[in-house]
Amino acid sequence: MRPALALLASTLLACASWSPDPDLYGLQLDNRSSQAWAQRDDFRTRLRVIIAASLTEVDATPAQIAGIRLVVKDGSVDCNGAEATGGCWDELDRTLTVSTDAGPCAELLLVAHELRHAVHGDPFHLSGGWSAVDAFRETLAAGHEDDCGRAGRRR
Ligand SMILES: [Zn+2]
């Protein structure tokens, strides 16, 4: 049994190109961005803060998001066959994708918005509260004027 378990373990390790990150509340970060700010050493730390704040904002627990893959990428996002600009939640793949096109800093990524979809669904934004979640992103960004100041504001 022991060799079989070892084989199973090595197979699982070989198949996992990413794994749940306890520092990111169990999300599995797949950072594909080549933006300088997304490559900085503090990017994961900032994501952790953003995710923690977002959990409160969207009324979710870490257990509800554990195992979800978080893809950070540049450019548009293929969202269930349609093109999206800021982000997408793919229920089938349990994958949350956010685009760096949303703004020039981590805090402007649509993490809270897509997490709300992941936890509460509502793909067509029919329930109330979406504008508050989107405004929350601006509040996060306002705390990082160096990276998200004037250049980060949509006019
Ligand atoms: Zn949405």
pLDDT tens string 31-77: 999 999 999 999 999 999 999 999 999 999 999 999 999 999 999 99
Q: Is pLDDT above 80 for 132?
A: yes
What is the 70 CA–ligand 1 centroid distance (Å)?
A: 15
Which one is predicted more confidently, 16 or 122? 122
Question: What is the Å distance from ligand 1's center to 123 Cα?
Answer: 6
**Domain residue limits, the chain:** 19-152
CA distances from 135 to 22, 30, 35, 57, 65 (A): 27, 26, 24, 11, 22
CA distances from 109 to 10, 86, 154 (A): 35, 8, 13
Cα 126 to averaged position of ligand 1 atoms, centre (Å): 10
pLDDT bin (cut points 50, 70, 90) of residue 14 is very low
CA of 112 to the centre of ligand 1 (A): 10
Question: How many residues are present in the chain?
Answer: 155
CA of 21 to the centre of ligand 1 (A): 24
pTM of the model: 0.84
Identify the CATH class of 19-152: alpha beta
Q: How far is the CA of 113 from the centre of ligand 1 (A)?
A: 6
pLDDT band at 29 (very low <50, low <70, confident <90, very high): very high
The per-residue pLDDT for range 108-125, each reduced to its tens digit, is 999 999 999 999 999 999
Q: Name the amino acid, one letter, at 17.
A: S
